[in-house]
Amino acid sequence: MNVMITIMDVLPEKQKEVLQTLLSLIQPSGKDKGCLNYGIFCDIEDKNVFNLISEWETRQNIDHHMRSDSFSVLLGTKSLLREPMKIQIFSVSDSEGIEVVNSVRKK
């Protein structure tokens, strides 16, 4: 699995415009081949900071997504940001869930 995190620090006066743009991208991006999950989150300390987190089956799926029209729209918001967009891509070789938490908490 691969995870892509995009952090956007939006100009306060453009917050609603960017949010509407991001919401319009959920449907198309979530349907891209290999997309397992696609979410938009607002920073609880600064409502002008958005985090987009998407999970993908393969790195090739992310590359395909980065060439898509919807990703071009996302990149087109750069003039509405206080700082340049930050993008991180992680390759996850293993993941664990709540069962690990439950196991660790048993004494």
pLDDT at 77: 95
H or E segment to which residue 102 belongs: helix 98-105
pLDDT at 30 over 90: no
* Per-residue pLDDT band at 100 (split at 50, 70, 90): confident
User: Rounded mean pLDDT of 86-96?
Assistant: 91
Across 18-39, average pLDDT: 87
CA distance 77 to 21: 8
34 close to 57: Cβ distance less than 8 angstroms: yes
Closest C-alpha to 3, from 28, 27, 39, 31: 39
In whole numbers, what is the pLDDT of the chain averaged over residues? 92
pLDDT reading at 29 higher than 70: no
Q: What pLDDT is recorded for position 55?
A: 95
Q: What is the mean pLDDT of residues 19-48?
A: 89
Label the pairing between strands 2-9 and 49-56.
antiparallel
Residue ranges of domains in the chain, CATH in brackets: 2-105 (3.30.70.100)
Are 52 and 39 in contact by the 8 Å Cβ rule? The answer is yes
What is residue 107's predicted lDDT score, i.e. its pLDDT? 59
Question: Are 35 and 55 contacting, i.e. CB atoms less than 8 angstroms apart?
Answer: yes
